[in-house]
Every structure is written in structure tokens, then in C-alpha cells.
Structure 1
Amino acid sequence: MCGRYDSHRSTDDLSAYFDADDDTGGDVPGRYNTAPTQPVRIVVYDPERERRAIQAARWGLVPFWAKDPSIGSRMINARAETVADKPAYRSAVRSMRALVPMDGWFEWRVGESGKQPCYLVPRDAGLLTAAGLFSWWDGPDGRLLSCTIITTAAVGELRTVHERMPLLLAGADRAAWLAPGADAAELLSVPPSDELVAGLEVRPVGAAVGSVRNDGPHLLDPVPVAAPATLF
């Protein structure tokens, strides 16, 4: 599962990185501690402009047929293995795919002393790109753009933290995910590369990240982890 992530870079930086127009209007600042239902930046393909665009979306997908947007809080993640068959996601898989920029993400590793928050981040401070989906919902206050992050089975060292991880895309796979009319089935079935995963650091961080009210670079600072107590 991916229930909290870091996307603190400016929208200008993301626009340059993805060669995408900025459609956010400056309304979505970067956050170190992004939580479900908050506004986030996603990258989509705009067929009218034949260009990529960065748009503001609420994290937690609200299907077009939903009675109200509260359903989105239960749809922050979609499993790669079943997303193409689920009623809430299958139409989006065909034509409403997105890229979700991340500087890193957080998981809570369960150990003998309880849950330890960990920050999973590229050792080279590079930008991560997760596969996502988006949807438009027409409500009484206008149209709502929402999104979900696709997850896959964790691999390598990441399995020691959590059984799931974001479906990370790199290189040509990013363009393929956004390509109009592309069959997404192949990308959904391919796990993140060993090279990409090997480049990730699993960094224990402080408990402050657990509160959505907290934000700032201090949340990424490493903390020492106490060794398990022994009988001798």
C-alpha cells in the first residue's frame, strides 16, 4: 500500500522534467507529507494539445458513477493485478492513465518494538514516477478531478518494509503509460526493475510523519533504530 508520500518539488521543476504544460494555476504547492484526499500534481496526456500537462487532482479516485466523493478515501490505491477488472478502474485503465511524481514514499515497518516509519527514496535523490489513474466526477460544486496510485508486489529489500509498493515506471515506460490507445496490460504485469529497486534507500524516520498536520524537510531526517531487546 502507498498511503503517504513525498512530492516536495516545485511544479515548475515537474513541468520541466516531464516536458509538460502547467495547468495547476499554482494552486498545489509541493508537500513532504502528502496524504489521501489532499490535492496532488499528476501528469496526463492532453489529446487536444497533443502535449503532456500537469493537473491538480484529489488523491483518492472518485468514479464518474459515484453518488458522492467520499468513496475516494477508499480508492487511494489500485492493485496492478486486478485494476483492469474492477468496475471503479477498468475504464480509466483504458483511457485515463496518469503519472504521479514522487520524491519518495512512506511505509510503516512492523518490528518487535512496534511500527517504525520508513522513508523509501532514491539514493541519488532522483525523481520517482508511479503509474496512476484519474477520473472526472460531476458534482453540485462543479467537476472534480481525482486520482489513484497503482501498487504492485514489493520486491527485494522493500519486502522487509511492506508487501506492496507503488508501480514505478522509468524511461520509455513512462511515455508508454500515457500513450493514447496503448494497451496497459503489459506494463501492469512487469515489476519494477532490479536496478531501480536497488537504487532505493530504506530510511527510518521519526514518528512525526504519522500526523497529516506535519510537513517539512525535517520529516525526512534519519533516526536511529534501537536494537531489539535480548534476554542476555
Structure 2
Amino acid sequence: MCGRFSLTASRQEVEALLAAIIGEDFPPRYNIAPTQPILMVVAGELPPPGSNRPDRVGRLARWGFIPGWVKDPNDFPLMFNIRSETAAVKNSFRAALHHRRALVPASGFYEWRREGKNRAQAYWVRPRRGGLIAFAALMETWSSADGSEIDTGGILTTGANETLRPIHERMPVVINPEDFGLWLDCKNNLPRDVAHLMRPAAPDFFEAVPVSDKVNKVSNTSPDIQERVEEDLTAPAGKPRNGKKPEPEDDSGGQLSMF
């Protein structure tokens, strides 16, 4: 699962990794949460022959996928994660998997290991060798009755690898740089052509660093939330938002700013 992540790289670093045009600089973000704007990279128009201009562009989207057929988002579950195993057959995601695959650049993500109902330990999960990564994602533009539109997106997940399975059973799908073109080229590659990319990362790809419960609060956005602490599974798991359980992964059917 991926309920929080971080992007602390510069615009230039993101553009270099993804060979994309991002447009504007943005500040480091240490605690990105669902419903907030996230940067998504999609295939753009093909450049003229002989041009070195990238054919990938960055777009801001609301983190929380809304299928186009939804009439009122307030009556629809918050789908920030999408199960890769069933995306091709679910009405909510089938069209996006065919036509609107995207990449979400990230420096890493957060996960919680829970012991019983009342104890949890937060982890900052980052590439063992450092650097940027790109999550597989789907984008959808939702249109309201008054004609206004908003881009929305969700991160695809798969079963956890051996390293992360003791913490959580799910993890985000990571697309390797050599597969960016294959994943983003929806015109020439059907879902069956990219199905093999939606797999767990290698066991040695990530390391999980125990961190404090500061990350539990969306308002905590400073670098210290990624500092290593001693593991403490006696800590309370935290109260659900608004007295409700957090939304699980779901496979059922305005202006944004990175600032």
C-alpha cells in the first residue's frame, strides 16, 4: 500500500530521470498525502522529427482516482491506491490502464507495521542506493455537471517483496527507467504488454528506516520526519480520521499547486 510518500528531488532531477518537461520548479515535499496535488508524468505529443525535445510532460493531479462516470465524488471512496492485479478487469480502471498510464516520481514512501489493533511503527521506505524512483499510476480527468474538470490519479500496488512483507502485505509498483517508454506508450502497448511490469521490486531495492509517529500528521512536513528512530511497537496506532477507519485499497467499480 502507499498512503504517504515524499518527493524531495529538484525539477531538474525529475526531468533528467523521466526525460520529461515539468515546467515549474517546486519545493521538496516530505509528507505527501491523499487528496493533495501530486506530479504525474504522461506521454505528450510526439516531437518533430530530428527534435531532441522530450515527448513526456508533467501534470498536476489530485491524489485520489475518480472514474469519469462518477457523478458526485463525495459519494465515492477515496481511491489513492489501485490494485494492479485487477485493474484491467475493473470498470473503474480499465479505460485508464488502456489509455492513461502515468508515472509518479518519488524519493520514497511511508508504511506502517501494525501489531494488534493499537500499536504501530512507521517506516520511511527508500531506495537502498538512493536516488529517484517512479511509481506506476493511472490518471483520469473527472468532469463535473457544470463543465469544470480536474485531473485525478492513483498509484498502482502489488504484493510486497520479501523485505517489506513483514511490514505490510502491499507495496507500490515501481517502474524501472528502461521500462518508462513501454509503460507510458499507451498507443502501441496494450495492458497485456505491460502486465509484467506490475511486479514487486527486487528484495534488495528498498530499505525500511523506522521513523517517529510525526509522519502520522499531514501537517508535519519537515525533513525530521525521515530521521531514524529506535523501533517502538508499543506506540499507539493513532486515531482514524473523523472517527472512521482509513479508506482501504479499493478495486471496485480546480487549480492545483505543488506549493
TM-score by length of 2: 0.79
Letter in 1 for 2:114: V
Q: 1:208 to 1:226 in 2, by over 3 A?
A: closer
Match of residue 177, structure 2, among 171, 180, 191: 171
Q: CA RMSD in A?
A: 2.2
Match of 2:85 among 81, 88, 96: 81
Change (3 A) 1:71 1:213: farther
Gap change, CA 1:115 and 1:186, over 3 Å in 2: farther
Mapped to 2, the partners of 1:70 and 1:51 lie a distance apart of 35
The answer to which structure has the higher strand fraction is: 1
Q: Kindly tell me: are residues 221 and 55 of structure 1, through their superposed partners in 2, closer, same or farther at Cα, counting changes over 3 Å?
A: same
Relative to total residues, which structure has the larger helix share, 1 or 2?
A: 1
Q: Are the aligned partners of 2:163 and 2:207 in contact in 1 as well (CA < 8 Å)?
A: no
- Output the CA distance in 1 between the equivalents of 2:62 and 2:148: 14
Other-structure match for 1:216: 222
In structure 1, C-alpha distance between the alignment counterparts of 2:113 and 2:44, rounded to whole Å: 39
CA distance in structure 1 between the partners assigned to 2:128 and 2:191 by the alignment: 29
TM-score by length of 1: 0.88
Instruction: Give the structure, 1 or 2, with the largest relative contact order (CA under 8 Å, sep 6 or more).
Output: 2
Task: Verify: 1:61 aligned to 2:65, yes or no.
Answer: yes
Q: How big is the shift at 1:111?
A: 3.1
- Deviation of 1:33 after TM superposition, in Å, equals 0.4
Aligned partner of 2:240 in structure 1 is none
User: Which whole-Å deviations, capped at 9, do the CAs of 1:159-205 have from their partners, x for residues lacking one?
Assistant: 011000001111322211001331233533452342xx303111100
Q: Any conservation in 2 of the 1:120–1:203 contact (CA below 8 Å)?
A: yes
Q: Which residue of structure 2 aligns with residue 129 of structure 1?
A: 134
SS at match of 1:148: strand
In the alignment, does 2:185 pair up with 1:181?
Answer: no
Please state whether the residue corresponding to 1:168 is helix, strand or coil: coil
Secondary structure at the residue paired with 1:198? Answer: coil
Q: Which amino acid aligns with 2:200?
A: P
Shift of 1:126: 1.4
Please list, as runs of the form range in 1=range in 2, the aligned pairs for 1:1-232 lying within 5 A after superposition: 1-23=1-23, 25=24, 29-47=27-45, 49=47, 51-70=55-74, 74-111=78-115, 114-139=119-144, 140=146, 142-179=148-185, 180-190=187-197, 191-194=199-202, 197-226=203-232
How many aligned residue pairs are there?
224
Structure 1 position 31, deviation (Å): 1.3
Deviations 1:116-153 (A, max 9, x none): 00111012211111110001112237220110000000
Contact 1:62-1:71 within 8 A present in 2 as well: no
